[in-house]
């Protein structure tokens, strides 16, 4: 028998912002397919019109493309097995449900909502698990024909076997056994003609020739129903691989109450796509040899689905920040600067397209700040000192945190101290003597000469300089600041603060 070409898929619903869990499952589907020379496809499951959100579908496309999780087939690309929106495949599902009825594998159920609610109440009172009792399963053909002729509302249900077991042969988890008598006769086709998730999912996976279903472990409980559906149709089932769920720090399923789950949020916060993909790749998977930083291609090349760990990976923003920082350091400086420009513009530090000189200055800022920042947004948030030339010393108020009080008080005192005034004046004279732009090494030398000229400790010399150059008790290294803002702006800042505080 000829081996089938590997085909995997993700099938998100367009019901809001694209979820980080979608990207997580997409990454592992893509890696498995491409590692095995196969195809990764995107299908949109949009049959639940009550939850459909305008614009969500495009956000799914955009988020996956942003992360370079590129699919070979999908609603926006087309493909041999389309259409790839379930809403465009609507007529298929009714036909297949009725095929099962004709085969004796499914049946019409005419039970009213009132009867089903009373059934659930009785089951609850008896301490039984809620489920359909098979009331319409034994209707005669004459009874069915009469009800259909009378226009009675119906659903179509699958005939689950009453005895035996359904075994999921999960690649990661081994055999998972379910007793058939505990699984009720699932609805396949709803009264409004729309398919349930179970029917549409199985029909689409079969027709799209999906060979491996890689999805979150929350779908394990539904898998026996899917296996029985494959049997009812007489189709070969795909291989099932259930990934561990992403978890909050308290081990609960990741949720927006405890973690940002929208991929849009991560993009807006300035995470690199490489950082997000790398972090998601670490969720439940390890290359070994302490290798934690890798590219998407490296992940694919070294991927082995059998090495996925099932412990329930914790979605830790601190770890994500560390991973993203590593990728910002590795990123080509020009590219990182270009990616960070929109954040500078949003903060009001850049207007329009920067000149070559302005871009060069911004690149130097990015190069310095990326070492300690977790996101591009954080680079910008910590860059204000390089752009803002007018400022005053902070003052202590009731809202000031205790740990900041001493620093602020000292900042004010050093400007009144004679040693501080001498340090400012000596440093100013050295800057004035410069006839060309100041490099970082030159700035370091000027600061060292000032320290030696005053003959006091660094705290007494550098703190007053920090006060007049930044207005802050701590922050950017002074040599970096002076080299980036240049001679004229350095002198302007000193003169302004001397005048403001009568130095």
Marked catalytic residue, from 182, 256, 388, 416? 256
**CATH number of the CATH domain containing 442:** 1.10.10.350
Question: Would you say residue 95 lies in a domain?
Answer: yes
Structure tokens given for 306: 């059998």
408 in the same domain as 369: no
| Predicted pLDDT at 20 | 95
Q: Is 254 inside a domain boundary?
A: no
Is residue 427 assigned to a domain? yes
| Residue 276 · residue 67 · CB < 8 Å | yes
Same domain (yes/no): 95, 170:
yes
CB 408 within 8 A of CB 400: yes
Report the C-alpha gap between 121 and 116 in whole angstroms: 9
Does any domain span residue 460? yes
Same domain membership, residue 203 and residue 120: yes
Q: Do 380 and 481 share a domain, yes or no?
A: no
Phi-psi region of 502 (alpha: psi -120 to 50; beta: other; left: phi over 0): left
Nearest to 33 by CA among 63, 72, 80, 84: 72
Contacts (Cβ under 8 Å, ≥6 apart) of 228: 158, 160, 161, 166, 183
Per the CB < 8 A criterion, the answer to whether 123 and 130 are in contact is yes
Are 178 and 285 members of one domain? Answer: no
Tell me the chain's radius of gyration from C-alpha atoms.
32
Please check whether residues 439 and 359 belong to one and the same domain. no
Q: Does 43 reside within a domain?
A: no
Residues 93 and 225 in one domain: yes
Q: What pLDDT, on the 0 to 100 scale, is given for residue 286?
A: 85
Count Cα atoms within 13 angstroms, Cβ side, for 305.
25
Question: Would residue 376 count as lying in a domain?
Answer: yes
Same domain, 432 and 379: no
Indicate whether 300 and 344 sit together in one domain: yes
Q: Clarify whether 256 is annotated catalytic.
A: yes
* Domain end residue (candidates: 349, 384, 419): 384
Closest to 111 (Cα-Cα) out of 156, 146, 161: 156
Residue span of the structural domain in which 491 resides: 402-500
Nearest to 157 by CA among 135, 179, 182, 124: 135
Pairing mode of beta strands 212-216, 239-243? parallel
pLDDT, residue 403, reads 84
What's the CA angle centered on 229, arms 34 and 85, to 5 degrees? Answer: 55
Domain closes at, from 384, 411, 446: 384
**Phi/psi of residue 169, each to 5°?**
-95, 80
Q: How far apart are CA 293 and CA 73, in angstroms?
A: 29
Domain total in the chain:
3
3-state DSSP assignment of residue 254:
coil
Q: What pLDDT is attached to residue 255?
A: 76
Of 384, 419, 435, the residue that ends a domain is 384
| Helices and strands, counts by H and E, the chain | 20, 9
Shared-domain flag, residues 114 and 156:
yes
State the CB neighbour count (10 A cutoff) for residue 128: 11
Dihedral of the CA atoms 31, 34, 38, 41 (nearest 10)? 60
For residue 226, being part of any structural domain is answered with yes
**Full pLDDT tens readout for the chain, 503 residues:** 457 899 999 999 998 899 999 999 999 999 999 999 999 999 999 987 777 778 999 999 999 999 999 999 999 999 999 999 999 999 999 999 999 999 999 999 999 999 999 999 999 999 988 999 999 999 999 999 999 999 999 999 999 999 999 999 999 999 999 999 999 999 999 999 999 999 999 999 999 999 999 999 999 999 999 999 999 999 999 999 999 999 988 888 887 767 789 999 999 999 999 999 999 999 989 887 789 999 999 999 999 999 999 988 889 999 999 999 999 999 999 999 999 999 999 999 999 999 999 999 999 999 999 999 999 999 999 999 999 999 999 998 888 888 888 888 899 999 999 999 999 999 999 999 998 889 999 999 999 999 999 999 999 999 999 999 999 999 999 999 999 999 999 999 999 999 999 98
* Residue position matching structure tokens 């609960």: 252
* Burial of residue 94 (number of CB atoms within 10 Å: 0-12, 13-18, 19+): middle
Cis, peptide link before residue 83, omega less than 30° from 0: yes
| Nearest residue to 322 (alpha-carbon basis) of 363, 369, 281, 271 | 271
Lookup: tokens for 16: 């809001």
Indicate whether 132 and 207 sit together in one domain.
yes
Residue 56 in domain: no
> Nearest 5°: CA angle at 276, between 270 and 279?
135
Instruction: Judge if 305 and 407 occupy the same domain.
Output: no
Phi, psi values for residue 136, rounded to 5°: -90, 0
């Amino acid at each position: 028998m000829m081996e089938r070409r590997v085909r995997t898929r993700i099938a998100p619903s367009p019901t809001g912002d694209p979820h980080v869990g979608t990207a997580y499952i997409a990454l592992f589907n893509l890696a498995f397919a491409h590692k095995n020379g196969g195809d990764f496809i995107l299908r949109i499951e949009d049959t639940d019109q009550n939850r459909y959100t305008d614009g969500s579908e495009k956000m799914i496309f955009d988020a996956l493309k942003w992360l370079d999780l590129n699919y070979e087939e999908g609603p926006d690309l087309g493909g041999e097995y389309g259409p790839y929106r379930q809403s465009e495949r609507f007529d298929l599902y009714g036909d297949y449900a009725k095929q099962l009825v004709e085969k004796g594998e499914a049946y019409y159920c005419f039970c009213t909502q009132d009867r089903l609610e009373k059934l659930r109440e009785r089951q609850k009172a008896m301490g039984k698990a809620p489920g359909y009792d098979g009331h319409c399963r034994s209707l005669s053909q004459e009874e069915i024909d009469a009800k259909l002729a009378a226009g009675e509302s119906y659903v179509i249900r699958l005939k689950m076997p009453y005895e035996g077991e359904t075994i999921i042969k999960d690649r990661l988890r081994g055999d998972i056994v379910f007793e058939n008598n505990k699984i009720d006769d699932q609805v396949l086709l709803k009264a409004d003609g729309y398919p349930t998730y179970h029917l549409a999912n199985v029909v689409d996976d079969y027709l799209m020739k999906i060979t491996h279903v890689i999805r979150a472990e929350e779908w394990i409980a539904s898998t026996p129903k899917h296996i029985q559906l494959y049997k009812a149709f007489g189709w070969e089932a795909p291989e099932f691989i259930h990934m561990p769920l992403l978890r909050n720090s308290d081990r609960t399923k990741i949720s927006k109450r405890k973690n940002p789950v929208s991929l849009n949020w991560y993009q807006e916060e300035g995470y690199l796509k490489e950082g997000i993909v790398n972090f998601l790749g670490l969720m439940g998977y390890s290359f070994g040899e302490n290798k934690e930083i890798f590219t998407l291609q490296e992940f694919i090349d070294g991927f082995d689905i059998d090495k996925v760990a099932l412990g329930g990976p914790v979605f830790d923003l601190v770890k994500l920040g560390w991973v993203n920082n590593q990728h910002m350091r590795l990123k080509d400086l020009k590219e990182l600067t270009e990616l960070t420009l929109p954040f500078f513009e949003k903060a009001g530090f850049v207007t329009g397209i920067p000149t070559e000189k302005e871009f060069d200055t911004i690149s130097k800022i990015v190069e310095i700040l990326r070492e300690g920042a977790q996101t591009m947004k954080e680079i910008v948030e910590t860059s204000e000192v390089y752009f803002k030339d007018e400022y005053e010393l902070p003052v202590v108020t009731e809202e000031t945190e205790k740990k900041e009080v001493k620093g602020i008080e000292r900042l004010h005192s050093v400007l009144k101290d004679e040693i501080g005034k001498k340090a400012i004046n000596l440093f100013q004279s050295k800057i004035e003597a410069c006839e060309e732009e100041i490099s970082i090494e030159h700035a370091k030398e000027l600061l060292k000469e000032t320290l030696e000229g005053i003959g006091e400790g660094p705290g007494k010399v550098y703190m007053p300089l920090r006060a007049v150059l930044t207005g802050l008790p701590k922050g950017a290294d002074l040599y970096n600041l002076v080299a980036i803002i240049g001679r004229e702006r350095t002198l302007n800042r000193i003169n302004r603060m001397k005048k403001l505080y009568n130095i």
